[in-house]
């Protein structure tokens, strides 16, 4: 027989000096407790670019994947089977920091895929290019933190690369920091239920 948890639970009763279960035992991860780190960003002369990117990211879109449908038609019926997995696009908004010139650094990163100045596409992968930004796909971690700022779980993105680069609008009436939005594509996302070590 089904027993409603929050209606019939003895822990929910407001008696004595004990806290009810609903006030503490079902706490959630908060949307503002996170960090994102990009490993091995292929920008020349910036060996530790992942650290400034970690600190400057101010917003991350929803992440995940979905399974495409395979429709099967049989006479008057239509049924579905799971098909290929399709990862979502990842959008990250960065503060355009003066010290690190975030807008320019992110622009340099997308230049390793398409350079609008020369018209080259993935120039680091051409014959004779050597080791200059040859692998434009990287790994990134989206780390979820607890109330003390300690990692409790993380999502790892494999094969991530920038797809679009956009500056925020310029507006004299605005009272916000200027930002850069970059959309990323990735091949796989893996959710881990432990701290990223």
User: Could you tell me the sign of the dihedral formed by the alpha carbons of 57, 60, 64, 68, in that order?
Assistant: negative
d(CA 119, CA 122): 10
Whole-number Å distance between alpha carbons of 197 and 152: 10
Q: How many CB atoms lie within 10 A of CB 106?
A: 25
Q: How confident is the model at residue 122 (pLDDT cuts 50, 70, 90)?
A: confident
Could you tell me the pLDDT band of residue 189, with boundaries at 50, 70 and 90? very high
DSSP 64-88: -EEEEEEEEEETTEEEEEEEEEEEP
Q: Which domains does the chain have, with CATH numbers?
A: 27-192 (2.30.110)
Q: Are 185 and 83 within 8 A, CB to CB?
A: no
Q: What is the pLDDT of residue 5?
A: 61
Average pLDDT, the chain: 83
Q: What is the pTM of this model?
A: 0.80
């Amino acid at each position: 027989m089904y027993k409603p948890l929050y209606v019939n639970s003895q822990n929910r009763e407001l008696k004595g000096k004990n806290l009810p279960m609903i006030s503490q035992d079902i706490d959630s991860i908060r949307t503002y407790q996170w960090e994102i780190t990009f490993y091995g960003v292929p920008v020349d002369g910036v060996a530790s670019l992942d650290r400034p990117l970690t600190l400057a990211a101010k917003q991350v879109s929803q992440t995940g994947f979905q399974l495409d449908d395979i429709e099967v038609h049989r006479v008057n019926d239509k049924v579905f089977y799971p098909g290929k997995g399709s990862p979502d696009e990842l959008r990250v908004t960065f503060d355009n920091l003066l010290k690190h010139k975030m807008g320019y650094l992110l622009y340099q990163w997308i230049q390793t895929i398409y350079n609008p100045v020369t018209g080259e596409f993935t120039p680091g992968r051409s014959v004779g290019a050597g080791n200059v930004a040859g692998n434009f796909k990287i790994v990134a971690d989206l780390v979820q933190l607890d109330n003390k700022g300690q990692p409790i779980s993380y999502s790892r993105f494999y094969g991530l690369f920038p797809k679009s680069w956009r500056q925020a609008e310029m507006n004299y009436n605005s009272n916000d920091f200027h930002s850069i939005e970059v959309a990323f594509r990735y091949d796989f996302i893996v959710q881990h239920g432990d701290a990223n070590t």
